[in-house]
Amino acid sequence: MAGNAKVQLGARSVELESCSAAYFPAKNPHSIESLGPKPLTYLYTYVCEEDPQEIDWKLSNEAVAAKFVIENKPHTRWALHEDFEKWAYWEPSKGSRLRYRSLFDQDHGKTRVGVSIYSVGPHTHYTRHFHSDPIIYYILSGQGIIYEGSSEHAVGPGSALYIGSNVVHGMDNPGDEPLKCYNIWGIKAQDEWTPVEDVYTEVR
């Protein structure tokens, strides 16, 4: 979110700045070190595929880390700046008004969670839909409304919202600036995206 960091996964390390992301597979030694004079601020979550599931951690060292080597390449990516990925378009009829960058998923690093950046253009509606995997929205910039079932939530920078499995949700950006957010989702959600309304562009 802010500041610079050195992230290490096993024997490999990468220096990252803001607007970057890192993915650490389970049972692989990893660390995050703040670099420079500015505080390091970052958002993190765990991938829990069972409910309930214990989260535990153990201290490691360089000798142990040296046994784990995962190259930071396209098919095994684990750290990158968001500008590495080009924008793609989610609902074709809306063109560049609704676009995203996939940072991590089964096609980008073969991860157990999907992480993407979404940008909803001014006066644009993101169609209400549902999928079996839950999703987390974290708002980076802009103002808008996220629909969750029968509820409406006004959101802005720093807002976070968890959408449960098969809960209908969507988004409106009624403002004049793009609404940008992180989406963190189960890897099946992209294939199961099911709309519950006609696709329209403008906020109503």
Kindly report the backbone phi and psi dihedral angles of residue 186, in degrees, each rounded to the nearest multiple of 5, phi listed first.
-65, 145
Q: What tokens were used for 168?
A: 């209908």
Average pLDDT, rounded, for the chain: 91
Task: Decide: helix, strand or coil at residue 62.
Answer: helix
The model's pTM is 0.88
Q: What is the pLDDT along the chain (204 residues), one digit of tens a residue?
A: 899 999 999 999 999 999 999 999 988 999 999 998 999 999 998 887 666 677 888 899 999 999 999 999 888 999 999 999 999 998 888 889 999 999 998 888 888 889 999 999 999 999 999 998 899 999 999 999 999 999 999 999 999 999 998 999 999 999 999 999 999 987 766 667 889 998 877 787
Q: Which CATH class is domain 85-195?
A: mainly beta
Q: Is 116 exposed, middle or buried (0-12, 13-18, 19+ CB in 10 A)?
A: buried
Cβ pair 79, 21 in contact under 8 A: yes
- Residue 174's pLDDT is 96
Cβ pair 197, 112 in contact under 8 A: no
Q: Where are the domains of the chain?
A: 4-81, 85-195
What are the start-end ranges of the H helices in the chain? Answer: 62-65
- Residue 193's pLDDT is 84
- Residue 57's pLDDT is 86
The 8 Å CB, 24+ separation contacts for 191-199 are 192/131, 192/132, 192/133, 193/129, 193/131, 194/129, 194/130, 194/131, 195/127, 195/128, 195/129, 196/128, 196/129, 196/130, 196/168, 197/127, 197/128, 197/170, 199/91, 199/93, 199/94, 199/127
What are the residues facing 41 on neighbouring strands? 2
